[in-house]
Amino acid sequence: MLEVARLSVAYGKHQAVDDVALTVASGEIVVILGANGAGKTSLLKALAGVQTTRPGAQVRLGGQDLTRLAAHRIVEAGLALVPEGRGIFGELTVRENLALGAFARRARNGEGSNLQRVLTLFPRLAERMEQAARTMSGGEQQMVAIGRALMSSPDILLLDEPSLGLSPLMCGELFGALGRIREAGIGVLLVEQNARRSLAIADRGYLIENGRIVGAGTAAALRDDPAVQRAYLGVATPAH
């Protein structure tokens, strides 16, 4: 289980993340909903070790303290980030991008089985293993990015806006894949603009405003909350 407490991030005097606490269990999808600029990306980067946290933060995975570890050590501990914009290597082939995901020591012995799992999850990649990633569609590139993260044998997968810019059809494929990733026992912490679709597959969710967690609950409870419906699901307030 990923356990986070008292996590804060500041850029100069701007407090981007303020005293956040959350948990993600194995085989659970947890979504974070918030407006642009609410601190969602800063939170994920801090968890992945690519953004410095303020003193006092606690990040633990399976009981191991990750708080002061370098980013590559956090990957070794079992936490993998798929960043917004994907961050794949466009000039490299699909095969080469996926192989880079297996650099972690924890992943080397299982590289073959992890690759098979990725290609089962995203059969389209199996047909394009020798294709340069930059020549693929946005949805296919997102598959490469998620596949690369899965090659590191993560216990928890962090996803930052995975459906951004994708067609409705590709979004459906993506969210279906996330459900199968959960079935494999991997926990997923999902930052996602498509609140309706993410709440449909999530187990729980957190609401973040101005860097602070302002609400939490099961996905069903959040879907039924009138304030969440107005803010994130496009449901109009009934006239009185």
Instruction: Determine contact, residues 190/218, Cβ cutoff 8 Å.
Output: no
Instruction: Determine contact, residues 16/51, Cβ cutoff 8 Å.
Output: no
Is 91 part of a structural domain of the chain? Answer: yes
Is 199 part of a structural domain of the chain? Answer: yes
Is 237 part of a structural domain of the chain? Answer: no
Instruction: Determine contact, residues 30/189, Cβ cutoff 8 Å.
Output: yes
User: Which pLDDT tens digit goes with each residue over 166-208?
Assistant: 888 888 888 999 999 999 999 999 998 888 899 999 999 999 9
Task: Give this prediction's pTM.
Answer: 0.91
User: What confidence score (pLDDT) does residue 237 get?
Assistant: 53
**What is the total count of domains within the chain?**
1
Q: Based on the number of CB atoms within 10 Å of its own CB, is 184 exposed (0-12), middle (13-18) or buried (19 or more)? A: exposed
User: Which pLDDT tens digit goes with each residue over 39-65?
Assistant: 999 999 999 999 889 999 999 999 899
Is 58 part of a structural domain of the chain? Answer: yes
Q: Name residues of the chain where pLDDT drops below 70.
A: 235-240
Is 51 part of a structural domain of the chain? Answer: yes
Instruction: Determine contact, residues 72/217, Cβ cutoff 8 Å.
Output: no
Instruction: Determine contact, residues 173/205, Cβ cutoff 8 Å.
Output: no
Is 239 part of a structural domain of the chain? Answer: no
The helix/strand count (H/E) of the chain reads as 11, 10
Whole-angstrom CA distances from 130 to 91, 97, 121, 163, 189 are: 11, 10, 18, 24, 30
Question: Coil, strand or helix: which one is 7?
Answer: strand
User: What confidence score (pLDDT) does residue 73 get?
Assistant: 93
User: What confidence score (pLDDT) does residue 211 get?
Assistant: 93
CATH number of the domain enclosing 82: 3.40.50.300
- List strand residue ranges (DSSP E) for the chain, in order: 2-11, 14-24, 29-33, 58-61, 64-65, 79-82, 156-160, 187-191, 204-209, 212-218
- Please tell me what DSSP assigns to residue 237: P
Domain of residue 93, residue span:
2-232
Is 240 part of a structural domain of the chain? Answer: no
Is 106 part of a structural domain of the chain? Answer: yes
